[in-house]
Amino acid sequence: MKALKSDAPLIVYVDIKSPYAFVAIRPTLALEKSLGMRFDWRPLTLDIPSYLGSARKSKGKLVESNRSASQWTGIKYGYADARRYAERQGLMLKGTEKIWDSSIANIAISWAMQTDRDRLGDYFEAVYPPFWRRELDIEDVAVVEACLEQAGIDSTGFAAFVEGEGRAHHDALQAQLHPSGIYGVPTYVFDGTILFGREHLPYVRWHLQGRKGPAPDIAYEIDSAEALPC
C-alpha cells in the first residue's frame, strides 16, 4: 500500500483519538454516500508527544505533564474548536485524560475495510462517540472487538490480525506518511493532492464531481443536510 496511491477516488486518513477526525467522520461519510462512491479509509496513528508533549490526568486533575505553556494553549484551543462542531452534530466531546495508543482501534478500520466494507460507518459510530464520552478503553483488543461486533462486523480473527498482518500493514503505512507529506487528520488525498482538514470537503466534492465551474472556498459544511448525522 502506497500512502498517496489508491484505486478509490479519494483516500481519507483518520485517527480515533483525534478530535478533528471525530467531527469530520459524519460529514465525510455523508459526502461518500451522496456521491455514491467508496472512499479508501485509512488509519493515521498520531504520535502526539513528538510535537505536543505528553500529559496525564486523573479524575480531572493534571498529575503528569511535560508540555510548555504554549503547547497547552494550542491544545485547549484545538479542543474548544472541535467541541463547537461536535455539539452542532449532537455529539459530546470530552478532553481525554491521557494520550491514547489508538493503533488497535485504527487497525480495526483496516479490518472493517477488508472484511465488511459496507459496515465501516457503523464501526465509526460504535467507537468514536463513546470514546469521546470517555467510555471506551481503545487500547484493549476485547473492547475494540466489541465495537466491531456492535457494528455488525465479525471480529473472529481480529486479535490475531492486530498481532500479525494488520499490525505489519499499519506500521508500514505509518512509516510512509510523514515522508509523503501527510501529518494530521483528517487528511484527504486524490491525484497526489493532499488536503488537511474537513473544511476542504466542498473542494473535495467539486473535484470528485468533475471540477465544473469555479472551485469553492473552504468551509466547514458541504450543505445543511450533510452537517447532520447520516
- What span, in angstroms and rounded, lies between the C-alpha atoms of 2 and 19? 26
Amino acid 226: pLDDT? 44
Q: pLDDT higher for 216 or 62?
A: 216
Q: Quick one: how far is CA 173 from the chain centroid?
A: 15
Q: What angle do CA 129, 89, 106 make, to 5 degrees?
A: 35
- Look at 79 and 66; give whichever has higher pLDDT: 79
Average pLDDT, the chain: 88
Using 50, 70 and 90 to split pLDDT, how confident is the model at 66? low
Return the closest-CA partner of residue 197 out of 10, 62, 12. 12
pLDDT greater than 50 at residue 55: no
Q: What is the pLDDT of residue 71?
A: 60
Q: How many angstroms separate the CA atoms of 8 and 173, rounded?
A: 17
pTM: 0.85
Q: Which letter, b or e, does each residue of 9-31 get, where b requires 16 or more Cβ atoms within 10 Å of its Cβ?
A: bbbbbbbbbbbbbbbbbbbbbbb
**Selection from 183, 220, 214 nearest residue 200 by Cα:** 220
d(CA 206, CA 212): 7
**Per-residue pLDDT at 220:** 60
pLDDT in tens, 80-89: 888 998 999 9
Decide if 52 contacts 67 (C-beta within 8 A). Answer: yes
Cell of 95: 478532553
